[in-house]
Amino acid sequence: MADGTRRIEIGALARVEGEGALHVRVEGDRVEDVRLEIYEPPRFFEALLQGRPYGDAPDITSRICGICPIAYQVSAIAAMEDALGVEVPEEVRLLRRLIYCGEWLESHALHAFMLHAPDFLGYEGAIEMARAEHPEPVERGLRIKRAGNEILSVIGGRAVHPVNLRVGGFYRAPSRAELAPLREILDRARADLAEAVAWTATLDFPDHEIHCEMVSLHTGREYPIETGRLVSDAGMDIGPREFPEHFEEEQIEHSTALHARIRGRGNYMVGPLARYNLNSELLPADVRAAASGAGLAATCHNPFRSITVRCVEMLFAADEAIRLIDEYEPFTPPAVEIEPRAGTGSGWSEAPRGVCWHRYTLAADGTIERATIVPPTSQNQASIERDLTSFVAANLALDDERLRLRCEQAVRNYDPCISCSTHFLRLEIERG
CA count, 13 A, side-chain hemisphere, 144? 37
- The CA distance from 363 to 384, in Å, is 38
Separate counts of helices (H) and strands (E) for the chain: 14, 14
Indicate the pLDDT class of residue 256, thresholds 50, 70 and 90. confident
Indicate the pLDDT class of residue 421, thresholds 50, 70 and 90. low
Cβ burial, residue 51 (10 Å; 0-12/13-18/19+) = exposed
Contact indicator for 46, 421 with CB cutoff of 8 Å: no
> 276-335, pLDDT tens digit by residue?
999 999 999 999 999 999 999 999 999 999 999 999 999 999 999 999 999 999 999 999
Where along the chain do its domains lie? 45-421
| CA nearest neighbour of 150 among 108, 115, 185, 187 | 185
pLDDT at 429: 25
pLDDT at 26: 86
> How many CB atoms are located within 10 Å of the residue 291 CB?
24
Indicate the pLDDT class of residue 420, thresholds 50, 70 and 90. low
CB within 8 Å of 246: residues ≥ 6 apart:
236, 238, 262, 263
| CA nearest neighbour of 190 among 292, 309, 290, 99 | 290
Angle between helices 376-394 and 400-412 (to 10 degrees): 150
Amino acid letter at 207? D
CATH class, domain 45-421, is mainly alpha
pLDDT at 40: 74
> 96-144, pLDDT tens digit by residue?
999 999 999 999 999 999 999 999 999 988 999 999 889 999 999 999 9
